[in-house]
Amino acid sequence: MLPSLKSRSSTLLAAIQEQFPNYHPLIAIAQIAHSDKADLELQFQCHKTIAKYIEPELKAVEVKSDANDHSVIRVSLFEDVSDAEIISETPQISNW
């Protein structure tokens, strides 16, 4: 039976930590990201690499609607959406 990816990763990390105690790849990348010796491009790439492990990547969402639909949809990236509301009877915007 093949070891799972998680157990294989843990085994590899343990082997590396035998040679380099307290090593973790994300922490090492973060150290480079904050190093005065690294140029801005390298620092940016380090932050970009770490970000995908810390925050979910934002993706585009397509919203389709009928031309007669007068609902307002409020989208928020940084607020709790549990209190979101849909306003179904909004005034119609007239054409000029």
- Residue 61 CA from chain centroid, whole number: 15
Q: Are 28 and 38 in contact (CB under 8 A)?
A: no
Residue 93 falls inside a structural domain: no
Q: What is the mean pLDDT of residues 31-56?
A: 95
Radius of gyration of the chain (CA): 24
Residue 94 falls inside a structural domain: no
Residue 92, pLDDT above cutoff 60: no
User: What are the tens digits of pLDDT across the range 8-25?
Assistant: 999 999 999 999 999 999
pTM listed for this prediction:
0.54
Residue 22 falls inside a structural domain: yes
Domain count, the chain: 1
Residue 67 falls inside a structural domain: no
Residue 75 falls inside a structural domain: no
Residue 38 falls inside a structural domain: yes
| Per-residue model confidence (pLDDT) at position 5 | 74
Residue-range definition of the domain harbouring residue 18: 5-54
* DSSP output for 58-81: P--------TT---B----SSS-G
Higher local confidence (pLDDT), 7 or 64? 7
Residue 72 falls inside a structural domain: no
